[in-house]
Amino acid sequence: MTTRAGFVALIGEPNAGKSTLLNRMVGAKVSIVTHKVQTTRARIRGVAMEGETQIVFVDTPGLFAPKRRLDRAMVAAAWSGAADADVVVLLVEANRGITEGVERILEGLNDIGAHRKVALAVNKIDRVEAPKLLGLTKALNERYPFTETFLISAEKGHGVDTLRKWLAEEVPEGPWLYPEDQIADLPLRMIAAEMTREKLTLRLHQELPYQLTVETEKWEERKDGSARIDQIIYVIRDGHKGILLGHKGETIKAVSKASREELEEFLGRRVHLFLQVKVRSGWLDEAERYSEMGLNFKDGNA
């Protein structure tokens, strides 16, 4: 039987639902999902199987107007992921419609969409009435010649199977790119760091939005089958350290417990997680931190 394999880039504004869709397609949690924007930093690849086809998803950072070096590196990674893919899927939130950000993305598609198929996926369809939905899909297709349009709810799963089946037919014929049981090509160290960062983002809300990063410093496999994981949370000023630790260490303990439980579920074994908070005022300008996140430091240059 003929096998197929190819890369699919999910692009869109921050919070459009790209990570939720990736996790739904793959059937496992490989990309962090929070209510905050810009949480996906690295180009996480999730692998989904559809019959004899292997679809490798590139979950790009949300496309937005960049202000800082980190922002610029994230946006560069997003467009690079789209330019390298066989098929591109643009996610647009039904309830937000054609925003300034969506307009900018549509302009960018003119540069990278010429030699590949670009599908439109209107997400969160359960949040709007049918007439508004039809008007939005018509307006978007008038602005860009999408190969196909899908109406989906990534959160509830509506329309996702149809989109995955279509993608399976559109990627090129060829051997599989990954072992059948592999769901993500990120190193486990980075997946573990992302899980902890998700828990921090959920816990801290607006207090420390994007001024922290998590690194897995050590990963030790133990004889009893468990793993000891040591992580460092970098913040840019002393005041942030107190917020992170919380009263009598309550915040960091809660984050550590939530992250450890999710890691144990993900790895299917016991985990001993140790978190340490360090102040590193210039981490946003350190090339090493960017490579840890799978980003190109040079792409952050103005």
* Residue 123 counted as domain residue: yes
Please report, for the domain that includes residue 30, its CATH number. Answer: 3.40.50.300
Q: Looking at the structure, do residues 41 and 151 belong to the same domain, yes or no?
A: yes
Domain end point (choices 170, 203, 233)? 170
Asked if residues 184 and 47 have their Cβ atoms less than 8 Å apart, the reply is yes
Within 8 A by CB and 6+ apart from 173, the residues are 2, 3, 4
Q: Looking at the structure, do residues 29 and 162 belong to the same domain, yes or no?
A: yes
Residue scoring higher pLDDT (67 or 4): 4
Q: Looking at the structure, do residues 13 and 131 belong to the same domain, yes or no?
A: yes
CA-nearest of 122, 129, 156 to 16 is: 122
pLDDT tens per residue across span 241-267: 888 888 888 999 999 999 999 888 877
Domain that holds residue 280: 188-300
* Residue 181 counted as domain residue: no
* Residue 109 counted as domain residue: yes
* Residue 179 counted as domain residue: no
Domains: count for the chain: 2
Q: Looking at the structure, do residues 166 and 46 belong to the same domain, yes or no?
A: yes
pLDDT tens per residue across span 100-145: 888 888 888 887 767 789 999 999 999 999 999 999 999 999 999 9
Q: Looking at the structure, do residues 98 and 166 belong to the same domain, yes or no?
A: yes
Domain end point (choices 136, 170, 204)? 170
Q: Looking at the structure, do residues 143 and 76 belong to the same domain, yes or no?
A: yes
Domain end point (choices 170, 198, 216)? 170
Q: Looking at the structure, do residues 90 and 215 belong to the same domain, yes or no?
A: no
**pLDDT of the residue at 255:** 92
- pLDDT band with cut points at 50, 70 and 90 for residue 209: very low
* Residue 249 counted as domain residue: yes
* Residue 87 counted as domain residue: yes
Q: Looking at the structure, do residues 15 and 149 belong to the same domain, yes or no?
A: yes
- pLDDT band with cut points at 50, 70 and 90 for residue 45: low
What percent of the residues of the chain are helix, what percent strand, and what percent coil, each to the nearest 5?
A: 40, 25, 35
Q: Looking at the structure, do residues 116 and 216 belong to the same domain, yes or no?
A: no
* Residue 79 counted as domain residue: yes
- pLDDT band with cut points at 50, 70 and 90 for residue 32: very low
Tokens 């992580």 correspond to 231
Q: Looking at the structure, do residues 166 and 206 belong to the same domain, yes or no?
A: no
On whether the pTM is more than 0.95, the answer is: no
> Lowest-confidence range among 17-31, 116-130, 152-166, 196-210?
196-210
- pLDDT band with cut points at 50, 70 and 90 for residue 281: confident
* Residue 275 counted as domain residue: yes
pLDDT tens per residue across span 46-88: 788 888 998 888 766 555 444 556 556 655 665 565 667 889 9
Please report, for the domain that includes residue 282, its CATH number. Answer: 3.30.300.20
Rounded to whole angstroms, the Cα distance separating 123 from 17 reads: 7
Q: In this structure, what are the phi and psi dihedrals at residue 53, rounded to the nearest 5 degrees?
A: -110, 135
Q: Looking at the structure, do residues 20 and 166 belong to the same domain, yes or no?
A: yes
CB neighbours (10 Å) of residue 149? 13
Q: Looking at the structure, do residues 241 and 98 belong to the same domain, yes or no?
A: no
